[in-house]
């Protein structure tokens, strides 16, 4: 089943910045609309992970400008520097690298999302743009995050550059999320279209990014260490902005400079799990069979230094600070959220209920109130265990809520999954926001205002122009008042159409392309009325 994405006209976009920007940040939480605060906190998260500053922090040039230091390693520079890159944050990373190392740079090729240069120019983000006569060639492609002919041309130019290097050269590889779609080089006879279809099918059936990229690596010339091998014997330094939970270098952008530890059996298990093994194209079967009998095994990557230069940890820490400056007691719940959006929505609904009961104990006072509270807490812990979040700080966050009795902001980051059943238009952030809105409406929250925002830090939620959406506990009644049947929209994975129609699109979060990418940010605000 291919995922057909219907393009429905979005109702007039109420405003690209739905909230007022006039209020100074120092105003107390009680005086301003929660929605405006949510937008400010989300923006602060994105600002914290701008690619340029993170790249500058990772690199140091000696005073003579001849030695490049990365971590504890030094590399000799003598007009021997080459650069390649692929990912949603790579334009800004390349601009920063060019500014620092331009005099040594011989040649570069980067593959970045379609339209990103125009978007950065329009947003006045000069620091994200290359110099006018740059030695770095830019390819734009992979519209809607799917590999296409433009991205294929970029991948071939990157391979050609890498293959021409010698032992005297140093290759700087800039990697960020979205890199897999921007570096497609299928192993023949697999075609780009076949790879695209298989990737879409796996994503639509809810495959994790680890599973998806295991398959991508097996079918690619450059992923899973292939780029590092093409560049051998040059030295390779990869600077990686993580958009995967736990920062696994072999998964981010499918690890083009990391030896793949997976074998064909792993791929077959994954294809079986999602019911795709039987219908595989002959070309895919041929490539997997060839890999199975390849005596050389995985690519060796001893000449490579892989360095993570940033992740959502930075974004959430900054957002927490910003929320505190606005007068909230703020706590980060997790930086590693994963799992199905429906399960996660139930988690957030129960979390709001338990936190609200702690904020205003009187609303559930008495024997039956205590029982209800205990039952809510029990269910919340059970769900948390089911979600298997390694770094969940649930008790700490609830403890903070208990102490404050005032406005609270709970933050989390990660990348949940959606199982696509319909052909609507949406993204995992908008779908999660709808589901959480429905949950908040169901929970007994007493006199506590609640707002939930979910947004992709890259500014694009699925194949839509919105980054995500925000909802309050009144969502269901707002939808009903306009005759919008939430269940029908959800059944068709049509969250974007729903939000476009709801109150003239004013619940959508529009940031434009941000030029960075560290997964999604979730914010839950609770404020006693």
Ligand X SMILES: O=C(O)[C@H](O)CO
Ligand Y SMILES: Nc1ncnc2c1ncn2[C@@H]1O[C@H](COP(=O)(O)OP(=O)(O)OP(=O)(O)O)[C@@H](O)[C@H]1O
Minimum CB–partner distance for residue 130 and ligand X (Å) = 22
- Asked if 426 touches ligand Y (CB under 6 A), the answer is yes
Q: Kindly state the DSSP code that residue 264 receives in the 8-state scheme.
A: H
Interface of this chain with ligand Y, residues 59 to 88, rule: CB under 6 A: 88
Q: How far is CA 297 from the centre of its chain?
A: 31
Q: Which two tokens stand for residue 357?
A: 């009961």
Q: Could you tell me which stretch among 18-26, 116-124, 296-304, 421-429 binds ligand Y (CB under 6 A)?
A: 421-429
Burial of residue 79 (number of CB atoms within 10 Å: 0-12, 13-18, 19+): exposed
Smallest CA-to-CA distance from 263 within 304, 296, 310 is with: 296
Beta strands in 30-120 (DSSP E): 59-61, 67-70, 73-76, 81-86, 105-113
- Tokens representing 295 are 């005596």
In terms of CB distance, is 257 or 312 closer to ligand Y? 312
SS3 205: coil
Contact 449, 474 (CB under 8 A): no
CB of 182 to ligand Y, least distance (A): 9
What's the CA gap between 60 and 68, in Å, rounded?
6
Q: Which of residues 236-295 bind ligand Y (CB under 6 A)?
A: 243
Determine if 37 is a binding residue for ligand Y (CB under 6 A).
no
485-514 positions binding ligand Y, by CB under 6 A: 493, 495
Q: Does 339 bind ligand Y (CB under 6 A)?
A: no
In 363-474, alpha helices (H): 367-387, 394-404, 428-442
Site pattern 139..158 for ligand Y (x: CB under 6 A): ------x-------------
Among 51, 108, 113, 177, binds ligand Y (CB under 6 A): 177
The entry of ligand X, ligand Y, none that residue 252 binds, CB within 5 to 8 Å by partner kind: ligand X
Q: Which stretch binds ligand Y (CB under 6 A): 116-124, 165-173, 378-386, 422-430?
A: 422-430
Count of positions on this chain that bind ligand Y (CB under 6 A): 23
CB closer to ligand X, 243 vs 431 = 243
Residue 7 has φ and ψ, to the nearest 5°, of -95, 105
How near is the Cβ of 308 to ligand X at its closest, in Å?
12
- Secondary element (H or E) of residue 319: helix 312-325
Pick the closest to residue 108 from 68, 164, 146 (CA basis): 164
Residue 525 and residue 37 in contact, taking contact as beta carbons nearer than 8 Å: yes
* Footprint on this chain of ligand X (rule: CB under 6 A): 177-180, 209, 213, 243-244, 252-254
Please tell me whether residue 51 binds ligand Y under the rule CB under 6 A. Answer: no
Site residues (vs ligand Y, CB under 6 A): 88, 145, 177-178, 203, 243, 418, 420, 424-428, 431, 456, 458, 460-463, 493, 495, 517
């Amino acid at each position: 089943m291919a995922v057909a994405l219907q393009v429905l006209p979005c109702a007039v976009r109420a405003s690209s910045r739905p909230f007022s920007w006039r209020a100074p940040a120092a105003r107390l939480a009680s005086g301003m609309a929660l929605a405006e605060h949510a937008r400010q906190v989300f923006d602060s998260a994105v600002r914290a992970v701008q690619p340029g500053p993170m790249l500058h922090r990772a690199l140091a040039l000696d005073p003579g400008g001849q030695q490049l230091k990365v971590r504890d390693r030094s590399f000799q520079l003598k007009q021997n520097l080459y650069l390649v890159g692929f990912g949603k944050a790579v334009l800004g990373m390349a601009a920063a690298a060019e500014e620092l190392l331009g005099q040594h740079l011989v040649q570069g090729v980067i593959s970045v999302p379609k339209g990103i240069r125009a978007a950065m120019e329009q947003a006045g983000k000069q620091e994200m743009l290359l110099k006018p006569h740059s030695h770095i060639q830019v390819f734009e492609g992979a519209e809607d995050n799917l590999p296409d002919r433009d991205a294929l041309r970029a991948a071939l130019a990157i391979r050609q550059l890498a293959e021409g290097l010698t032992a005297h050269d140093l290759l700087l590889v800039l990697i960020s999320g979205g890199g897999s779609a921007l570096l497609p080089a299928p192993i023949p006879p697999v075609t780009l279209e076949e790879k695209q279809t298989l990737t879409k099918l796996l994503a639509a059936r809810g495959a994790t990014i680890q599973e998806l990229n295991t398959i991508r690596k097996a079918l690619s010339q450059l992923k899973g260490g292939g780029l590092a091998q093409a560049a051998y014997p040059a030295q390779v330094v990869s600077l990686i902005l993580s958009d995967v939970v736990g920062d696994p270098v072999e998964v981010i952008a499918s690890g083009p400079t990391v030896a793949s530890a997976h074998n064909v059996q792993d791929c077959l298990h994954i294809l079986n799990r999602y019911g795709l093994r039987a219908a595989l194209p002959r070309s895919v079967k041929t490539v997997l069979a060839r890999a199975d009998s390849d005596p050389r095994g995985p690519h060796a990557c001893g000449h490579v230094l892989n360095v993570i230069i940033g992740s959502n940890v930075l974004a959430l820490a900054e957002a927490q600070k910003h929320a505190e400056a606005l007068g909230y007691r703020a706590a980060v719940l997790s930086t590693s959220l994963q799992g199905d959006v429906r399960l996660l929505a139930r988690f957030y609904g129960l979390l709001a209920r338990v936190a609200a009961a702690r904020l205003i104990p009187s609303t559930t006072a008495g024997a039956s109130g205590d029982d209800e509270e205990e039952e809510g807490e029990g269910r919340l812990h059970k769900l948390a265990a089911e979600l298997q979040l390694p770094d969940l700080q649930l008790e700490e966050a609830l403890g903070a809520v208990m102490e404050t009795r005032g406005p609270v902001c709970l933050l989390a980051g990660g990348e949940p999954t959606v199982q696509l059943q319909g052909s609507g238009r949406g993204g995992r952030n908008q779908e999660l926001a709808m589901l959480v809105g429905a949950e908040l409406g169901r929970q007994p929250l007493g006199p506590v205002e609640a707002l939930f925002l979910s947004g992709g830090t890259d500014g694009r939620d699925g194949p839509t122009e919105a980054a995500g959406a925000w909802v309050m506990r009144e969502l269901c009644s707002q939808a009903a008042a306009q005759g919008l049947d939430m269940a029908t929209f959800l059944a068709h994975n049509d969250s974007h159409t729903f939000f476009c129609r709801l109150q003239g699109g004013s619940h959508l979060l529009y940031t434009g392309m941000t030029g960075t990418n560290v997964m999604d940010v979730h914010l839950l605000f609770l404020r006693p009325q």
